Amino acid sequence: MRETGPGLGEEKLSHLFEPFYTTKPGGMGMGLSICLIIEDHGGRLSASEHEATGALFEFTIPVS
Does the structure show a pLDDT above 80 at 1? no
Domain that holds residue 48: 2-60
pLDDT for res 16: 84
Q: What angle do CA 46, 26, 20 make, to 5 degrees?
A: 40
C-alpha dist (Å) from residue 45 to 25, 26, 39, 53: 25, 25, 7, 20
Q: What is the mean pLDDT of the chain?
A: 83
Q: pLDDT-based confidence at 55, cuts 50/70/90? A: confident
Total tally of structural domains belonging to the chain: 1
Does the structure show a pLDDT above 80 at 39? yes
pLDDT for res 7: 79
CATH of the domain at 29: 3.30.565.10
**What residues have CB less than 8 Å from 39, skipping those under 6 apart?**
45
Distance CA 44, CA 20 (A): 20
Amino acid 26 reads: G
